[in-house]
A and B are shown apart, each in its own frame.
Chain A
Amino acid sequence: MLPIDAAAHSSRWRRRHPGEKAVLGFGLTALAVCLSPWPGAPLVAAATLAVLLGPAGVAPRQLWRAWRIPLGFCVTGAVPLLFQVGAEGGLVTLAPGGPAAAGQLLLRTSAASLGVLLFAFTTPVSDVLPRLVRAGVPAPVVDVALVMYRISFLLLDSVRRIREAQAARLGLTTRAATWRSLAGLGATAFVRAFDRAARLQSGLAGRGYDGTLRVLVPRTAVSRRFLGATGALLAGLVALTLVLERLLP
Chain B
Amino acid sequence: MSIHEVLERVSPNMHIAEGYLPPVHAAAWSVAAAPFVVHGVRALSREVKANPESTLLLGASGAFTFVLSALKLPSVTGSCSHPTGTGLGAILFRPPIMAVLGTITLLFQALLLAHGGLTTLGANVFSMAIVGPWAGFGVYWLLRRFDVPLMVSVFAGAFVADLSTYCVTSVQLALAFPDPGSGVVGALAKFGGIFALTQIPLAVSEGLLTVLVMRLLMQSSKGDLARLGVLSAKKEAVAR
Q: How far is the CB of A143 from chain B (nearest CB, A)?
A: 5
Partner of A152, one of B23, B48, B63: B63
- Pair A182/B52 contact, Cβ less than 8 Å: no
Is there contact, CB below 8 Å, between B66 and A125? Answer: no
Could you tell me if A109 and B19 are in contact, using CB atoms closer than 8 angstroms? yes
- Residues on A with C-beta less than 8 A from B18 are 29, 70, 109, 112-113, 115-116
Q: Which residues of A in the span 193-211 have a Cβ within 8 Å of any Cβ on B?
A: 193-194, 196-198, 200-201, 204-205, 209-211
Contact of B60 among A143, A147, A179 (CB under 8 A): A147
In B34-60, the 8 Å CB interface with A consists of 41, 44-45, 48-49, 52-53, 55-60
Contacts of B118 in A (CB 8 A): 26, 29, 116
By the criterion CB–CB under 8 Å, are A144 and B55 in contact?
yes
Cβ of A236 within 8 Å of any chain B Cβ, yes or no, is no
- What residues of A have a CB within 8 angstroms of the CB of B141 in the complex? none
Give which listed residue, A152, A189, A209, contacts B52 with CB less than 8 A.
Answer: A209
The CA of A180 and the CA of B215, in the complex, are separated in Å by 11
Asked if residues A69 and B60 are in contact (CB atoms below 8 Å), the reply is no
Do B57 and A197 touch across chains, with their CB atoms under 8 A apart?
yes
Do A179 and B216 touch (CB < 8 A)? no
Residues of A within 8 A of B (CB): 2, 4-5, 26, 29-30, 32-34, 66-67, 69-70, 72-77, 79-81, 83-87, 93, 95-98, 101, 105, 108-113, 115-117, 119-120, 125, 128, 138, 140-141, 143-152, 155-156, 159, 175, 178-180, 182-187, 189-191, 193-194, 196-198, 200-201, 204-205, 209-211, 213
Least distance between B23 CB and chain A CB atoms (Å):
6
Q: Is the beta-carbon distance between A120 and B112 smaller than 8 angstroms?
A: yes
Q: Which of B149-185 contact A (CB under 8 A)?
A: 173, 177, 179-182
Q: Is the interface of A mostly helix, strand, loop or mixed?
A: helix
Contact present for A5 and B112 (CB under 8 Å) = yes
A195: nearest chain-B partner, CB-CB = B60
Cβ contacts under 8 Å, B187 to chain A: 80, 85
Contact of A186 among B20, B66, B209 (CB under 8 A): B209
User: CA of A14 to CA of B3 in the docked complex: distance in angstroms?
Assistant: 42
Do A116 and B110 have beta carbons less than 8 Å apart?
A: yes
Given contacts A112-B117, A112-B119, A148-B62, contact A159 B216 (CB under 8 A): no
B200 at the interface (CB under 8 A from A): no
Q: Knowing A26-B118, A194-B60 touch, does A179 contact B17 (C-beta < 8 A)?
A: no
Would you list which residues of chain B between 54 and 102 have a CB under 8 Å from chain A?
Answer: 55-64, 66-68, 70-74, 88, 100-101
Using known A-B contacts A185-B71, A191-B221, determine if residue A113 contacts B114 with beta carbons closer than 8 Å: yes
Shortest Cβ-Cβ A-B pairs, 10 listed: A147-B59, A112-B19, A211-B52, A183-B212, A187-B216, A197-B60, A72-B10, A85-B186, A148-B62, A87-B181
CB within 8 Å for A187 and B213 given contacts A76-B194, A80-B191: yes
Q: Measured between alpha carbons, how far is A111 from B117 in the docked complex, in Å?
A: 12
Q: Chain B, interface size: which category?
A: 35 or more
Which residues of the other chain, A, contact B66 by a CB distance below 8 angstroms? Answer: 148, 152, 155
- Between A67, A75, A140, A143, the greatest number of chain B beta carbons within 10 A of the residue's beta carbon is seen for A140
Nearest chain A CB to B73 CB, angstrom units: 7
User: Is there contact, CB below 8 Å, between A148 and B63?
Assistant: yes
| Inter-chain contact A113/B17, CB cutoff 8 Å | yes
Which residues of chain A are near B7, meaning CB under 8 Å?
76
- Considering the complex, give the chain A residue whose CB is closest to the CB of B42: A138
For the complex, give the distance between the alpha carbons of A30 and B41 in Å: 27
For residue B108, which residues in chain A have a CB less than 8 angstroms away from its CB? Answer: 125, 148-149, 152
Question: Cβ of B111 < 8 Å from any Cβ of A?
Answer: yes
